[in-house]
Amino acid sequence: MAFWTIDAGRGIFPQLCVELDFQSVPTSPTRFWTDVTNDVRALTYTRGGRTDELQRNQPGTLRAVFASKNGKYNFAPFTGWQPRRGMWIRVRAQWNGVVYARWQGIVETIELSWPQAGLDSIATFTASDAMKALNLFDLQGQTFTAQTGDQRLSAICTLAGLTATIADTGISTLVPVSTPLPNQSYADQHLQQVEQSENGFIFAGPDGTIVFQSRHYRTLFSHTPIGVVGDTGGTIPYRDSVVLQLDDAYLVNKVTVTPTNADGSLGTPVTVTDHVSSVQYFARNTTVVDRTILVSGEALAAAQWLLARYKEPSPRVPTVNVLGVRNPKQWPTILAADNSDRLTFKRTAYSPIVQDCYVEQITDAIVPNTSWDVTFQLSPADASLFWLAQVVGFGEAGVTTRGSY
Domain regions of the chain by residue span = 15-129, 135-215, 219-240+316-362, 254-310
Residues 254 and 284: beta-carbon distance below 8 Å: yes
pTM, rounded to two decimals:
0.93
User: Residue 74 contacts by C-beta under 8 Å, 6 or more apart in sequence?
Assistant: 68, 83, 112
104, 210 contact by CB (below 8 A): no
C-alpha dihedral sign at 28, 31, 32, 34: positive
Each residue's pLDDT tens digit, 123-146 = 999 999 999 999 999 999 999 999
Among 386, 365, 371, which Cα is nearest to 102's?
365
Class at the top of the CATH hierarchy for domain 15-129: mainly beta
CATH number of 135-215: 3.55.50.10
Query: What pLDDT is attached to residue 296?
Result: 94
Q: What is the pLDDT of residue 171?
A: 95
User: Residue 283: what pLDDT?
Assistant: 85
Taken in order 230, 377, 310, 198, the sign of the CA dihedral is: negative
Handedness of CA 263, 264, 266, 267 (dihedral sign): positive
Q: What pLDDT, on the 0 to 100 scale, is given for residue 47?
A: 97
Q: What is the widest separation between alpha-carbon atoms in the chain?
A: 72
HSE toward the beta carbon, residue 179, CA cutoff 13 A: 7
- Ranges of the chain with pLDDT below 70: 1, 76-82, 383-403
What is the model's pLDDT at position 389?
57
pLDDT at 245: 87
Question: How far apart are alpha carbons 66 and 107 in whole angstroms?
Answer: 14
Main-chain phi, psi angles of 329, to 5 degrees: -65, -20
Burial class (CB in 10 A: 0-12, 13-18, 19+), 377: buried
On the CB side of 91, how many CA atoms lie within 13 Å of its CA? 30
Half-sphere exposure of 297 (CA within 13 A, CB side): 5
DSSP designation for 118: G
Q: Is 224 left (phi over 0), alpha (psi -120 to 50) or beta?
A: beta
Question: What Rg, from alpha-carbon coordinates, does the chain have?
Answer: 23
Q: What is the pLDDT of residue 368?
A: 94
Query: Which alpha helices (H) appear in 252-298, and where do they start and end?
Result: 275-281
Distance CA 308, CA 257 (A): 14
